[in-house]
Amino acid sequence: MSTFNLDVYMPVVILIALALLVAGGSILLGSFIRPHNPNKLKETAYECGEEPVGSAWANFNVRFYVIALIFIIFDVESALMFPVAAIFKKFNQIGLGGTLLLSILSFTLVLVAGIVYCWKKGDLDWVKSFNAPQVNVASKDK
């Protein structure tokens, strides 16, 4: 019985449908009985009782945006690592573990080099330290 049977994916579909049903159903159920008296003040965004100043969709300094880029690299890395990890035991039993170990090591080493680079560049810090400008400021003060 090594046939690929799509039946096993049925629960996934059923559960996603159930999630939408439970979420939608509970909101729909409430809409019959809950009060609905909107007014202008009630529909403003909460800003500690003050009237909101401007929109929240303004430009602002997102810290750690570089992390999003590193994340993508590491996410792809782990996605690529899963199949290798899954066959490692079998390969080890037939004596090919060394080859696989070497490929894992070299692959990970490249990634480690990447994270070390980011670390040194200061992308993992709250305030990115620009070394060169700081030296200039210090020399000006003298």
Partner 1 sequence: MNSTVVTYLAQSNEYSAVVAWLTKLIGFNANSLVAFMVFAVASLVVVGALATIGGLGTYAERKISADLQMRQGPNRVGPYGILQFLADGVKMILKEDIIPANADKFTFILAPFLCMVGVFATLAVVPFSSGFMLADLNVGIFYLVGMASLVGVGVFLGGYSSNSKWSMLGGMRGASQIISYEIPATITIVSIVLLAGGLSIKTLINGQGGLPQQWYLFHNPFAFIGFFVYFIAALAETNRAPFDLPEAESELVSGYHTEYSGMRFGLFALAEYIEVFVVSGVAVALFLGGYKVPFDLGTGAIFVEKLGLDAMIAKNIGQVLELGSFFTKTFALYYVVIWVRWTLPRLRVDQLMTLCWKYLTPIAIFNLLGCAVWMYAFDGKSIYSIIFESAAVVAGHH
* Residue closer to partner 1 (CB basis): 34 or 140: 34
Query: Is 120 among the residues that bind partner 1 (CB under 8 A)?
Result: no
Residues 57 to 76: which contact partner 1 by CB under 8 A? Answer: 57, 62-64, 67-68, 70-71, 74-75
The residue from 49, 50, 59, 82 that contacts partner 1 (CB under 8 A) is 82
Closest separation in Å from C-beta 116 to partner 1 = 9
The residue from 76, 112, 117, 130 that contacts partner 1 (CB under 8 A) is 112
- Written as one string, the DSSP assignment of 88-118 is HHHHHHTT-HHHHHHHHHHHHHHHHHHHHHH
CA–CA separation, 64 and 70 (whole Å): 10
CA–CA separation, 105 and 111 (whole Å): 10
Residues 8 to 37: which contact partner 1 by CB under 8 A? Answer: 8-12, 14-16, 18-20, 22-24, 26-27, 29-31, 33-37
Per DSSP (E only), the strands in the chain are none
**CA angle, corner 120, sides to 117 and 126, nearest 5?**
115
